[in-house]
A = this chain, B = another copy of it.
Amino acid sequence: MRTVGAVLFPGFELLDVFGPLEAFGVLRAEFALLTLAERAGPVASAQGPEAVAARSFADAPPLDLLLVPGGIGTRTQVENGALTGFLAARARAAEVTLSVCTGAALLARAGVLDGRRATTNKRAFAWVVAQGPRVTWVPVARWVDAGAVVTSSGVSAGIDMTLAVIARLVGRGAAEKAARRMEYRWASDADDDPFATLYGLG
């Protein structure tokens, strides 16, 4: 059983968090889900609705997987040392750290992506790249698996990445089971990224 810690902050993107948590959550014998934030309690998403952070950063147990969403809140959270410090410390200890969308900007500012290959949201690509000058940014990728750190493209790409991480950690059958339960057509090719072209990066 692995514990997945999903990091929340004001202005997080709803699907960046809840797409991956849905996929992990289908496999309840394999993954326990935990939401975390600087302070425990309600955290407002970019879209308005609030989710509850069950634990504060200070009170977080060991995390096997660390999930970092994007969203408009990243624009200010890149300056939040409490958040980037938590990410730096916990990414070192985690088996796999995952970011979705502009969550890669937070990992970049935390130094977690230095010397690694990574991708991010395609519409916000230039801004995220500017947060990580020592990162090998990959413009055309649905997600990039760099081993201990896996980064996905925008929003819904987080679901495809999560299924790939499940396949790696648990097995292809488990990922296919999760996709089937979600009635989701898994885009399982990490290199197939039509949105890069759409946003002039392909």
Contact = CB atoms under 8 A, between A and B. Distances in A.
A94 interface: no
Interface of A is mostly: mixed
Nearest to A6: B49
A183 to B, nearest CB: 4
Interface residues of A, number: 46
Interface in A9-30: 13-15, 17-19, 21-22, 24-26, 28
A25 B73 CA distance: 15
Given A180-B198, A183-B155, A187-B185, A21 B25 contact: no
Contacts of A180: 195, 198
A8 to B, nearest CB: 9
A47 B162 CA distance: 15
A122 interface: yes
Contact of A50 (B46, B51, B182, B198): B51
15 contacts: A6-B49, A14-B21, A14-B25, A17-B18, A22-B47, A28-B47, A49-B52, A121-B183, A122-B183, A153-B183, A154-B181, A154-B183, A156-B182, A156-B184, A180-B195
